[in-house]
Structure 1
Amino acid sequence: MEEEFWEIEDKQHGWYYLFQQLDQVARANAGTQLIAKEPMNIIRNRYRDVLPIDDTRVKLNNTDCDYINANYVKEETVQRSYIMTQGPMGHTSSHFWQMVWEQNCAGIVMLNRCIEKGMNKCFQYWPAEVGQSLQFGPYIIENQFQQTEETFRLSMLTLSMSDSDEQVKTVQHFHYIKWPDFNVPRTPDDFLRFLNAVRRGGVLSPDCGPCVVHCSAGIGRSGTFALVDVILAQITKAGSTADINIQQTLLRMRTQRLGLIQTPDQLRFSYIAILHGADRACKGELDEDEDSDSDEDEEGVASENDSEEERTGQNDSDKPPPLPPRSSDSNKIPQVDLVKEDDHPPAVLKRTLSLSGSSSHSMSTTPELPADKEDDTPPPPPLPPRDNREPFLEEREEGNPPVEAPSSLNAENFMTSDDIHSTSEEATLRRRQAYQDKQARISTQVQDMKKNLQHQRGHSEQWTPKWLFIGVACIIFYLLLRALY
């Protein structure tokens, strides 16, 4: 697994091409999304291009419209069951809590803030303060307890119905507050602490209902969380990383909700988080309590609506995460010291990399990246816009036949280092050839324009004396006529 990571990392634009290939295969094998496009359901979608797959969508009971933008995502190999959904809107919050009630969900994992960079990403669907309560339709939610950590908050909520005598249900709300949209956390250790807290809460157990996981669209950060959790659970069960296939697992999950993991950086971070947690997962220590190094007072944490980070979107989580060290044995990942938010990456990380993929070798605690080397290879096509998800998922028109998928989806045939290298070379040659063809066409057009100008100038110069002579002759003739008459 570690060798696979470094093979992709060392290839120029390796993560971009891997992400594009996985996305292409996932779209080719995705089911239809017709129910979400019906007129009565369109207003329940936060983004018109992030839609649930018909076969795995969650259905509401006892209502005129059973639609909600949510999918079941299951991984039977480790008995994991999730409900991936979008961040609730004001008019869909009652549908959200109805789903939690009917599916007997014990936990909600929220990976975004309500306001990010001045934009509304999610409605405040739960009471943020202890003792407060909110009601959406017949569902009453009350905050009984809240614990604030450095990077996340845990709230104990009670869910009841005003028109029912059924027993009150307890729902744990895990809120990760330092994960920027279309980006990744600063260190995988903070994310693994959060994952451990969710696991210790018991909400991922097969004994209770599926765990609700959402961000803004319910595909990018939510897919990253689910993939890391599933792979680490597989490693814990197997006791080794030898037979773990990350790409194949992601493809299976994407057949249940299209678009899980939304950017190449999120895919790369998933690998990093898995490698950092693999050693503890092999030893069965991943779910144990972590020592807290934070001296931050719970009361000193600003509330979500008043947080400056939420208004500006600027925080330390925009920095790239440290990479795992290289190892001769890919099945044994060295233990990495936990990194505090205000510390530099530890000295044991022999190699650090920026999000753009430029590498450096350093033994100091504050490694410096080398200057960019001159490279005549054109850059890859630009990624989708940050706040416009429309170009990201290609909507399939109704009635069109699905795209035929490759004959084999095995990772051995799908993505190897040779495939990445050959794909990169072919793409580079195609871009160079297209660039040369474009330059040739422009040059030909310029030459044609010059010839036309020269022809027009010669034609005008040829006719100018002739017309001048005719004009003078006409004037003389006119004067003679006037003199005679």
Structure 2
Amino acid sequence: MASQTEKEFAEFDNNKIWTEIFQRLKNEASLLTLGDDFSSKISREPQNRRKNRYRDVSPYDHSRVILSGKNDYINASLVEVPEAGRKYILTQGPLDQTMSDFWQMAWEQESRAIVMLNRTIEKLAIKCAQYWPLGADFGCEEDMYFPQCGLKTGEKREILHFHYTTWPDFGVPSSPNAFLLFLHVIRQTGSLDADVGPSVVHCSAGIGRSGTFCLVDSCLMVVEKKQSLQAINVRETLIHMRSYRMGLIQTPDQLRFSYLAILQGAHAILHGTGLESVSTKQNHVEGPPPPLRSSSLQQPSTALASQDHSSYEQQISVSTEDLLADMDSAPPPPLFPKKGAQAIGHSLQRQAGSSKWEEDDEEDEEFDQLIDREESGSDSEEEAKAVELRHRIREERKKQTMEQLRKMKERQRRSERWRPYKKFYRPSLYIGLAVLVGVAGVIVYKYLM
């Protein structure tokens, strides 16, 4: 007998009414969140406005994450799904001026992992600050320090950073397979379990891709606990989650993808094969899951050491570029060049911001096919030239991306410096124009006389 979720998916798909269903969900959630209980007044206070990436995405006062210290605001919400035994912190991609708050939150909430679902640059726009160090390979520092957090206990912790790099803004992955494998890898580390702090999940706004991730994971947890697809109601779960953070899941496509991933993952769980079997079986990819990126977070300076490769990480991390390239049918952005063991911890980090993604897709596929032969040590002259060309092109792309990021950040800084003075110059400009028009009128009048 088909479950309610399966019946709903078939009905919505056959009748092509996902847009209508999505709008109904938005309306129901809006009615639920009317009133003072769901205010967002704190986010609109003058000292907090500059900490919001988007004007129309604010945390509810009742569920916002509260930092210690004089200014306790961060655009982040604690989302709870009791029937799944899950708690998540959904937040926006950090701004340059909120990176310290971001890491302070991760520390104070005792988060075990950060799940990043966007790239720092998408469609030539900055979607997230570079809040973790890129390291010496990219001409950057190995560590980042945030002394303004004011945490001084000398304690040190390790936080895992998971980065999904092929999920487009306002879009969905090409299939649920790669997503379910990604989710499986995170679950295997215990980062989402109830006995650790809530994981930090973010995209750019912290509502679309982040909401999709949490909805799928929560529903699959209920299926796993109850061992039945009948135990879940996707729409009610989403409406409940929206009572903690506004706007979760932004498009009808993301809603449809959530249903697909839930159904596919649920069948794998109920058949006893697990989420990893769905992904590897349907993509015909064999091998271990993608590697983790591990970061060290310590006091007193709350330093993030991205090159701290622990023995645990080395045991589960192998060269999986082929697996990552095959995870989605659409080719992902090209990889940065890597050097030996330093590839560990950066294997999921894809290049962002290249204006030549579309032009180079076929070229990337051709180069990816050479990876196996490159690693096997083939001495073919033709293959050696191809490998050399591949590394040269990636090096050039890295330089272009870093230069573009530098220019965009510089424009952003100039804009921030100019903003406080706009209100003074705008009236002066109007007065100047009025005087100029008045003088011109006098000249014309005298000429006519």
Which bracket does the TM-score occupy, shorter chain normalised? 0.5 to 0.7
| The one of 10, 15, 32 aligned to 2:39 | 32
What aligned pairs does 1:257-406 form with structure 2 within 5 A after superposition?
Answer: 257-286=245-274, 291=280, 292-293=285-286, 296=321, 301-302=335-336, 307=351, 310-311=354-355, 314=358
In the other structure, the counterpart of 1:21 is: 24
* Residues 393-419 of structure 1: per-residue CA shift (max 9 Å, x gap): xxxxxxxxxxxxxxxxxxxxxxxxxxx
CA distance in 2, matches of 1:243, 1:201: 26
For residue 133 of structure 2, give the secondary structure of its aligned residue in structure 1.
coil
In the other structure, the counterpart of 2:193 is: 205
Q: Check the 8 A contact 1:309/1:315 in 2, yes or no.
A: no
* Residues 280-316 of structure 1: per-residue CA shift (max 9 Å, x gap): 1224543557755486369982269983665456599
Q: Kindly state the Cα deviation for residue 27 of structure 1 after the two structures are TM-superposed.
A: 1.5
CA distance in 2, matches of 1:187, 1:130: 35
Q: Where do 4+ consecutive residues of structure 1 move more than 6 Å?
A: 297-300, 303-306
Q: CA 1:112 to 1:308, structure 2 compared with 1: closer, same or farther past 3 Å?
A: closer
CA distance in 2, matches of 1:315, 1:281: 40
Q: CA 1:123 to 1:243, structure 2 compared with 1: closer, same or farther past 3 Å?
A: same
Q: CA 1:316 to 1:24, structure 2 compared with 1: closer, same or farther past 3 Å?
A: farther
Q: Which moved more, 1:213-222 or 1:16-25?
A: 16-25
Q: Which moved more, 1:106-115 or 1:270-279?
A: 270-279
Q: Kindly state the Cα deviation for residue 133 of structure 1 after the two structures are TM-superposed.
A: 3.2
In the other structure, the counterpart of 1:134 is: 143
In the other structure, the counterpart of 1:6 is: 10
More strand by share: 1
Q: Check the 8 A contact 2:112/2:197 in 1, yes or no.
A: yes
Q: CA 1:218 to 1:314, structure 2 compared with 1: closer, same or farther past 3 Å?
A: farther
Q: Kindly state the Cα deviation for residue 203 of structure 1 after the two structures are TM-superposed.
A: 0.6
Q: Check the 8 A contact 2:120/2:130 in 1, yes or no.
A: yes
For residue 166 of structure 1, give the secondary structure of its aligned residue in structure 2.
coil
More helix by share: 2
For residue 200 of structure 2, give the secondary structure of its aligned residue in structure 1.
strand
What aligned pairs does 1:413-432 form with structure 2 within 5 A after superposition?
Answer: none
Name the TM-score, length of structure 1 as normaliser: 0.57
CA distance in 2, matches of 1:134, 1:198: 24
CA distance in 1, matches of 2:143, 2:32: 41
* Residues 321-365 of structure 1: per-residue CA shift (max 9 Å, x gap): xxxxxxxxxxxxxxxxxxxx99xxxxxxxxxxxxxxxxxxxxxxx
Q: CA 1:268 to 1:314, structure 2 compared with 1: closer, same or farther past 3 Å?
A: farther
In the other structure, the counterpart of 2:97 is: 91
For residue 186 of structure 2, give the secondary structure of its aligned residue in structure 1.
helix
**Kindly, what percent of the aligned residue pairs are identical?**
45
| The one of 41, 48, 51 aligned to 1:41 | 48
For residue 40 of structure 2, give the secondary structure of its aligned residue in structure 1.
coil
In the other structure, the counterpart of 1:175 is: 163
In the other structure, the counterpart of 1:105 is: 111
Q: Which amino acid aligns with 2:105?
A: M
Unaligned runs of 5+ in 2: 288-319, 326-333, 338-347, 362-367, 370-449
Q: Kindly state the Cα deviation for residue 266 of structure 1 after the two structures are TM-superposed.
A: 0.4
Q: CA 1:19 to 1:105, structure 2 compared with 1: closer, same or farther past 3 Å?
A: same
CA distance in 2, matches of 1:93, 1:215: 14
Q: CA 1:234 to 1:136, structure 2 compared with 1: closer, same or farther past 3 Å?
A: same
In the other structure, the counterpart of 2:242 is: 254
**Count of residue pairs brought into register by the alignment:** 296
CA distance in 1, matches of 2:76, 2:151: 26
Q: Which amino acid aligns with 2:321?
A: E
Q: CA 1:95 to 1:313, structure 2 compared with 1: closer, same or farther past 3 Å?
A: farther
Q: Check the 8 A contact 1:228/1:274 in 2, yes or no.
A: yes
Q: Check the 8 A contact 2:335/2:350 in 1, yes or no.
A: no
For residue 62 of structure 2, give the secondary structure of its aligned residue in structure 1.
helix
Q: Kindly state the Cα deviation for residue 163 of structure 1 after the two structures are TM-superposed.
A: 6.1
| The one of 64, 85, 94 aligned to 1:79 | 85
Q: CA 1:80 to 1:96, structure 2 compared with 1: closer, same or farther past 3 Å?
A: same
Q: Which moved more, 1:19-28 or 1:284-293?
A: 284-293
CA distance in 2, matches of 1:226, 1:316: 33
Q: Which amino acid aligns with 2:351?
A: S
Q: CA 1:223 to 1:102, structure 2 compared with 1: closer, same or farther past 3 Å?
A: same
Q: CA 1:194 to 1:253, structure 2 compared with 1: closer, same or farther past 3 Å?
A: same
CA distance in 1, matches of 2:321, 2:144: 32
CA distance in 2, matches of 1:312, 1:215: 23
Q: CA 1:128 to 1:316, structure 2 compared with 1: closer, same or farther past 3 Å?
A: same
**Which has more radius of gyration?**
1
Q: Kindly state the Cα deviation for residue 108 of structure 1 after the two structures are TM-superposed.
A: 0.2
Q: Which moved more, 1:236-245 or 1:263-272?
A: 236-245
Q: Check the 8 A contact 1:110/1:214 in 2, yes or no.
A: yes
